[in-house]
Chains A and B, each alone.
Chain A
Amino acid sequence: MTDVRPSDEILNAFVDGQFSPEDRLFTLKSIAGDEGLSREVCDMVQLKELVAMAYRPEVLPGAGQERPRSSGSWVGWWGAAAGVAALALAATVFLGLDRDRVSGTAPIVAGDALKLDAPHPVASVSSDHQRVLLHVTEVDIVSARGLLDDVEFMFETALLNGQELQVQMVVHGIAMDLVRADLAPFPERMRALVSTYPGLSITACGQSLARRAREEGGAIELLPWVQEVESGVQEAARRQAEGWTYIRV
Chain B
Amino acid sequence: MRNKIFFAAVLLLAMAVPGLASAATADDVTRVVYHVNQGDPGVHMGALRNVQNHINAVGADGMDIKVVMHGGGINLLIGASQNPDLQAAVDSLKLQGVDFQVCRNTLASRNVPLEALYDATEADVVQSGVAQLSILQREGYTYIKP
Contact = CB atoms under 8 A, between A and B. Distances in A.
B122 interface: no
Secondary structure dominating the interface of B: helix
A143 B14 contact: no
Contacts of B24: 74
A224 B131 CA distance: 27
Contacts of B14: 87-88, 91-92, 95
A149 B105 contact: yes
Interface string B2-28: 000010011101101110110011010
A201 to B, nearest CB: 16
Interface centre among B14, B30, B38, B72 (most CB of A within 10 A): B14
B109 A150 contact: no
Contact of A248 (B32, B35, B128, B140): B35
B130 A92 contact: no
A248 B146 CA distance: 10
Interface in B21-77: 21, 24-25, 27, 30, 32, 35, 37-38, 70-72
B107 to A, nearest CB: 11
Contact of A249 (B27, B130, B131, B138): B130
Contacts, number: 111
A157 B131 contact: yes
Interface string A79-116: 00000110111011001100100010001100110011
A78 B9 CA distance: 13
B133 interface: yes
B140 A247 contact: no
Contacts of A151: 130
A78 B27 CA distance: 22
B17 A134 contact: no
Contact of A103 (B13, B16, B27, B140): B27
Nearest to A88: B13
Interface string A36-61: 00000000000000000000000000
21 contacts: A74-B20, A84-B13, A87-B10, A89-B17, A91-B10, A92-B14, A95-B18, A103-B27, A111-B140, A112-B25, A115-B21, A116-B18, A130-B134, A130-B138, A149-B128, A150-B128, A157-B131, A245-B137, A245-B143, A246-B137, A246-B143
Q: Which 3 residue pairs of A and B lie closest in terms of their CB atoms, listed nearest first?
A: A91-B14, A88-B13, A150-B130
Interface of B: 6, 9-11, 13-14, 16-18, 20-21, 24-25, 27, 30, 32, 35, 37-38, 70-72, 103, 105-106, 109, 127-131, 133-134, 137-138, 140, 142-143, 145
Given A88-B13, A99-B18, 4 more contacts: A146-B106, A146-B109, A153-B130, A249-B130
